[in-house]
C-alpha cells in the first residue's frame, strides 16, 4: 500500500509528533506508516481522513500487486 | 439465541483477559523487583535462615519474584499504547513462544550428545519443561479455537 501521509502532513505544516498527538498514537506509529512499514486500521485511517479533510482514498492507495 | 449470548459473553471475557495490561509505572516496579530478586538469589542472605527448608523456600520466593518482575515489564503499557504497539506486542509473544519451545525441545538432546562425548553414563536432562511447554501450547491452541469460533459466530 502506498501513502501520501508525509505530503498531507506537510500541507498542514505538522510534525510527526504533532500529527501523532492529534490522532492519539505515538510518533513512531506515524513514522512507520509514512515509511510503509505499518498498515493502519480503518479507524486510524478515518481519523486521518477527518483531520486532513479528505477521503481515505486520496492518501492511501493499493499497490498494483495487491 | 441463548448460545449466541453465551459466545458473546465468552468473547467479552476473553477480550477482557487477553487485553489485560498494567499501567506504565509497573515497568519500573518490575525492574526493581527483578533487581531485588537477583540480589536475593546471588547474595548470601539465605544463609541467615538456619534450616535448609527455609533456605529453599526463600530462594523459591526470590525466583518467583524475578518471574513476576519480568511479567510486570512484559504486560505493562507503553507510554502511548496504540495499534502499532499491539501488533509489536503480539509479534514478540509469537516469536518468544516459538523460540522458547524450539530451544527447550532441542537443548536436552544437545546436552545429552555433549555429555556422551565425555562419558558413557549420560542421562537425559529436563522433565518439567515438557509439561510447561505442552501446557503453554495446549492453552494457546484452545484459546485460538475459542476465539476463532466466537469471532465467526453469525
Residue A12's CATH number:
1.10.260.40
Inter-chain touch B82–A38, beta carbons under 8 Å:
no
Residue A61 covered by a domain: no
Residue A63 covered by a domain: no
Residue-level pLDDT at A25:
95
Residue A64 covered by a domain: no
Residue A22 covered by a domain: yes
Residue A30 covered by a domain: yes
Indicate the number of domains in chain A.
Answer: 1
Inter-chain touch A26–B83, beta carbons under 8 Å:
no
Cell of B135: 501446557
Cβ contacts of B79 on chain A, cutoff 8 Å: 26
Bridge partners (DSSP) listed for residue A60: A3
Residue A59 covered by a domain: no
In contact, B144 and B4? CB cutoff 8 Å: no
Q: How far apart are CA B107 and CA B93, in angstroms?
A: 21
Taking the mean position of all CA atoms in its chain, how far away is CA A44?
Answer: 8
Q: What is the 3-state secondary structure (H, E, C) of chain A?
A: CEECHHHHHHHCCCCHHHHHHHHCCCHHHHHHHHCCCCCCCHHHHHHHHHHHCCCHHHCEECCCCC
For residue range B74-111, list pLDDT tens digits in order: 999 999 999 999 999 999 999 999 999 999 888 888 88
Under the banding of pLDDT at 50, 70 and 90, the label for residue B126 is low
Residue A25 covered by a domain: yes
Residue A57 covered by a domain: no
In contact, A38 and B84? CB cutoff 8 Å: yes
Q: Which domain holds residue A34?
A: 2-51
How far B87 CA sits from the closest chain A CA (Å)? 9
Containing H/E element for B105?
helix B83-116
For residue range B136-150, list pLDDT tens digits in order: 999 999 989 988 888
Taking the mean position of all CA atoms in its chain, how far away is CA A37?
Answer: 12
For residue range A4-57, list pLDDT tens digits in order: 999 999 999 999 999 999 999 999 999 999 999 999 999 999 999 999 999 999
Inter-chain touch B84–A32, beta carbons under 8 Å:
yes
Amino acid at each position: 500500500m502506498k501513502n501520501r501521509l508525509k505530503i498531507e502532513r506537510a500541507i498542514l505544516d505538522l510534525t510527526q509528533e504533532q500529527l501523532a498527538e492529534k490522532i492519539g498514537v505515538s510518533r513512531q506509529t506515524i513514522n512507520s506508516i509514512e515509511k510503509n512499514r505499518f498498515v493502519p486500521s480503518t479507524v486510524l485511517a478515518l481519523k486521518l481522513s477527518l483531520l486532513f479533510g479528505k477521503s481515505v482514498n486520496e492518501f492511501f492507495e493499493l499497490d498494483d500487486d495487491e | 439465541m441463548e448460545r449466541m449470548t453465551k459466545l458473546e459473553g465468552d468473547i467479552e471475557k476473553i477480550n477482557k483477559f487477553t487485553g489485560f495490561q498494567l499501567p506504565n509505572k509497573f515497568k519500573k516496579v518490575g525492574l526493581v523487583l527483578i533487581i531485588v530478586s537477583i540480589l536475593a538469589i546471588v547474595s548470601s542472605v539465605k544463609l541467615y535462615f538456619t534450616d535448609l527448608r527455609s533456605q529453599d523456600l526463600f530462594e523459591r520466593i526470590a525466583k518467583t519474584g524475578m518471574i513476576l518482575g519480568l511479567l510486570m515489564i512484559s504486560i505493562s503499557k507503553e507510554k502511548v499504547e496504540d495499534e502499532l504497539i499491539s501488533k509489536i506486542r503480539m509479534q514478540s509473544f509469537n516469536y518468544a513462544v516459538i523460540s522458547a519451545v524450539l530451544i527447550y525441545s532441542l537443548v536436552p538432546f544437545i546436552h545429552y550428545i555433549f555429555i556422551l562425548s565425555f562419558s558413557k553414563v549420560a542421562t537425559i536432562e529436563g522433565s518439567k519443561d515438557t509439561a510447561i511447554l505442552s501446557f503453554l501450547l495446549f492453552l494457546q491452541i484452545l484459546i485460538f479455537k475459542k476465539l476463532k469460533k466466537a469471532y465467526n459466530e453469525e
